[in-house]
């Protein structure tokens, strides 16, 4: 089963990168630019979640971006801007269980109860180190 998930993730990442090249060649929006870095890919059932950071040279800010694939790789969802950082790419983590998806950006947590299609307000989290280093989701708990 892990091999199947890994194969799906690698295939989707390849499709994602090809779609970027096609969009750029056809004058579409650039999804990942030359100063982008992939943060994490997470799979859960038929869903694949992709998060990356992109540097906006004009605004001089790093944007953390998120995209979901809810149909086994047939199409990509909307790109969500999850947060900004002026000092560098924000450390981010994702965890999911069933329809719940949790995203941590530094010291804030965002929750989606509909497979990453919408998100609740950010929840600030206080830790001794100033940020969350890892999260795990089980049922309705994170």
User: What's the start-to-end Cα distance of the chain, in Å?
Assistant: 24
Q: Work out the pLDDT band at 124, boundaries 50, 70, 90.
A: confident
Q: Work out the pLDDT band at 104, boundaries 50, 70, 90.
A: confident
pLDDT (tens digit per residue) in 22-60: 343 333 344 566 677 777 888 888 888 888 888 888 888
Residue 110, phi-psi category: left (phi > 0), alpha (psi -120 to 50), beta (remainder): beta
pLDDT of residue 23: 40
pLDDT of residue 24: 39
Q: pTM, whole model, 2 decimals?
A: 0.69
pLDDT of residue 5: 52
Token reading at 34: 């030359």
pLDDT (tens digit per residue) in 76-91: 788 888 888 767 666 7
51: which residues sit within 8 A by CB, 6+ positions away?
38, 39, 40, 41, 64, 65, 66, 67, 82, 92, 94, 103
């Amino acid at each position: 089963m892990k091999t199947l998930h890994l194969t799906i993730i690698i295939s989707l990442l390849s499709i994602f990168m090809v779609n970027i090249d096609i969009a750029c060649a056809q004058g579409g929006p650039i999804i990942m630019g030359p100063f982008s870095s992939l943060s994490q890919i997470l799979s859960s059932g038929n869903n694949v979640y992709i998060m990356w950071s992109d540097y906006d040279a004009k605004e001089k800010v790093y944007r953390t971006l998120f995209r979901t694939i809810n149909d086994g790789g047939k199409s990509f969802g909307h790109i969500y801007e999850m947060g900004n950082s002026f000092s560098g790419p924000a450390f981010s983590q994702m965890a999911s269980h069933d329809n719940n998806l949790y995203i941590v950006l530094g010291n804030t947590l965002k929750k989606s109860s509909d497979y990453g299609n919408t998100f609740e307000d950010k929840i600030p989290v206080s830790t001794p180190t100033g940020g969350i280093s890892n999260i795990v989701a089980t049922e309705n708990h994170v």
